[in-house]
Amino acid sequence: MEESKLLIEDKNIVTPGDILAEGLDYLPSSGCYRTGNIIKSKYFGVVRIKNRYLSVIPLAGAYMPKSGDGVIAKISDIQTTFWICDINSPYDAILQIGEVAEEYIDLTRTDISSFFDIGDIIYAKILNVTKSKNILLTMKDYRARKLIGGRLIKVTPSKVPRIIGKEGSMIELIKNKTGCQIIVGQNGIVWFKGQNEALAAKVILMIEKEAHIPGLTDRVNAFLDKFSNIKGEKL
């Protein structure tokens, strides 16, 4: 048996076609593929190694829906029994009336736009994604709701985990220091509402830009402190 060899280290930056490992002991997880007995990267991104599993997290790219993801969606069309939602992905998502209302709805008497109208922003959960990319949303989740007011920004979907931080630590830090309500959709849409909206937006875009550089939490902390101090002096 040929010996397996790892050719990269955890957190290395790779480009498409870069060889990650040789031999059959390593297994390609997301973002890479096997050809013959070598594993190559599919993306320009960062390598993650977990035991025998190799993956590459892309530094850019469109959002690909996964079931269970919480997303921020915009109602883009209304049909008789469902809504069509833009989820910042190549695919539209469907939200059916049964996933919104608990009780029976008499459709002969109800215009479902009384629940959500075109242009409304909602936070919803992805219920299911089929092989041919038919996507169902649900509002039956404790976090799901209509988002009223506030501001939206778009970030690279692959950077969302860094914005949220370990067990939500990063986002909690920003919430505490800016006093904003913030919701981060896995689809790369961030919603926030509060006094320091501009500061919150700035810091989120900073995280997006510098997500791959170590020492992120410290820099975010320093950044937020600098601004809140200036604010404090002026007051």
Partner 1 sequence: MKEKEKLIINRKRLDGRDLYEMRKIEIQINPIKNSMGSAMFKFGKTWAIAATHGPRAAYPKWQQNPEFSILKTRYMMLPFSTWERSKPGISRRSIEISKVVNDALSNVIFLEDYPKTMIDVFIDIIEADASTRCAALNAASIALALAGVPLKDIVSSCSVGKIDGEIVLDIAGFEDNYGEVDCAVAMIPHEEKVLLLQMDGIVTKEEFKKMIMLAKEGCLKVYESQKTAIKQAFTNIIDIE
- Candidates 101, 119, 103, 205; CA nearest to 154 is 205
DSSP 155-219: --GGGHHHHH-GGGHHHHHHHHHH--EEEE-TTSEEEEESTTHHHHHHHHHHHHHHTTSS-HHHH
Least distance to partner 1, CB of residue 64, Å: 8
Q: Is 43 in the site for partner 1 (CB under 8 A)?
A: yes
Residue type, 229: N
Those residues whose C-beta lies under 8 Å from the C-beta of residue 7, and which sit 6 or more positions away, are 19, 20, 21, 22
Q: Which of 5, 10, 11, 15 binds partner 1 (CB under 8 A)?
A: 15
Per DSSP, helices labelled H in the chain are: 160-164, 169-178, 197-210, 216-234
Q: 92 or 120, CB closer to partner 1?
A: 92
Q: Which of 11, 50, 60, 143 binds partner 1 (CB under 8 A)?
A: 60
Least distance to partner 1, CB of residue 14, Å: 8
Q: Is 42 in the site for partner 1 (CB under 8 A)?
A: yes
Site for partner 1 in 67-96 (CB under 8 A): 90-92
Candidates 31-39, 100-108, 109-117, 178-186: pick the segment binding partner 1 (CB under 8 A).
Answer: 31-39
Q: How big is the site for partner 1, counted in residues (CB under 8 A)?
A: 27
Least distance to partner 1, CB of residue 203, Å: 18
Coil, helix or strand for 49?
strand
Least distance to partner 1, CB of residue 58, Å: 4
- Candidates 183, 202, 200; CA nearest to 191 is 183
Q: Is 153 in the site for partner 1 (CB under 8 A)?
A: no
Residues 71 and 67: their CA atoms lie apart, in Å, by 10
Q: 58 or 185, CB closer to partner 1?
A: 58
Site for partner 1 in 193-212 (CB under 8 A): 209
Q: Which two tokens stand for residue 106?
A: 């008499």
Q: Is 13 in the site for partner 1 (CB under 8 A)?
A: yes
